[in-house]
Amino acid sequence: MRLSAALACLLAGTLAVTTRARAEEARSTALQTLRVTYSAPAGCGSRATFVAELEARTPRVRVVDTQDLAAAVSVELADRPTGIVGQLSLREPDGTETLRAVAGKSCEEVVPALALIAAVLVDPEAITRAQTPAKAAPANEGSAAQPPRDDERPRFRPSLGTGVAVTSSVAPSLSVAPALELGLEMEQGGRRGPMLLLSFERFSSSTVTTHAGLADLSTLLGRVSLCPWRWPARGLAFLAPCGAFEAGSLHVDVSQTLDEKEPTVLWLAAGPDLHLELRPLAVLGLELDLLGIFPLVRDTFYFSPEIPVFSIPVVGWTGRVGVKAVWP
């Protein structure tokens, strides 16, 4: 016989009536000794869970591990395409066996129903004890339809940070820049989610000196980094693989030369970004970014065709350290 979990209480009531005579004969104070075996898919309850549910419904059972003079309760659960199916068998010491089956959407629904049936089989008065939580069921069902709790809603936290960046991409020697960063990160249920970073940097380098003149290179750029996930989702520190895109301008100031043209060219680049961050406080972050830079526009600067100043490389790198405040 297979029942839905919703009909378990009705079945338990029927069992209470059909077994009333036995309860009167044994008197309500008698203890029923039971051996319990439990078989279920992984994550679908446990023997301890079933025993706890059973003992919560009747004080008149004593679960033992020995086989002497004890009734045997066997619980088997199986995962089917339509849901969870549970079967309960009660074998008395004289060999009498009672079988019951319950179907439901989840293990959390089926296991308590089987425990209630087992409780009523050995203690018919257990059905009266189960009526109080049963009356509370509509309230519980109604709460399931309530909106998600606040800590389960996606939450967006803006941030503002500053730091120092170093790059090999925009001048013959390493260039240094102050950096300003705006960020937006998502959290849900206390777990870290995607993150978006917007950085602004102005690089300058040491003067390039040749016998034809002097050149100073500076670059003003903005960078967008998108980090689809952060690992681990909880803890004081995390790392995030990101994709970065840069846009800006590269300017050359020249002096002590016959032709003092000062060109400005478009700067476009993209590349991977590995973001590492330490959060000693919920509102404070210490950052390290390591980027591979692949320029999309490559220009070469000359004092004359024979005297090159700088050629934008095929690939470069950028490193940045910083500190930021995060909205709580």
Question: What residue spans define the domains of the chain?
Answer: 3-144, 155-326
Instruction: Please give the chain's pLDDT, 328 residues, in tens.
Output: 555 555 555 555 555 444 444 444 444 456 788 889 999 988 888 999 899 988 888 888 888 887 666 788 999 999 887 889 999 998 888 888 999 999 988 888 999 999 999 888 888 887 776 544 444 344 444 444 455 555 568 999 999 999 999 999 999 999 999 999 999 999 987 889 999 999 999 999 888 888 888 889 999 999 999 999 999 988 899 999 999 999 999 999 888 877 777 889 999 999 999 999 999 998 999 999 999 999 999 998 887 767 888 999 999 999 999 999 999 8
pLDDT of 132 reads: 46
Beta carbons within 10 angstroms of residue 305's beta carbon: 6
pLDDT of 15 reads: 52
State the sign of the Cα–Cα–Cα–Cα dihedral 230, 232, 235, 238. Answer: negative
Distance CA 26, CA 120 (A): 14
At 73, list the tokens.
């309760």
Measured CA distances, 233 to 167, 186, 188, 189, 243 (Å)? 30, 11, 10, 10, 19
For the chain, the C-alpha Rg in angstroms (whole number) is 36
Distance CA 71, CA 88 (A): 13
Distance CA 71, CA 89 (A): 10
Could you tell me the fold of the domain covering 155-326?
Answer: Porin (2.40.160)
Distance CA 264, CA 271 (A): 23
Distance CA 242, CA 174 (A): 23
Chain-centre distance for alpha carbon 164 = 32
What pLDDT, in 10s, does the model give residues 274-328? 999 999 998 999 999 999 999 999 998 887 767 888 999 999 999 999 999 999 8
pLDDT of 141 reads: 42
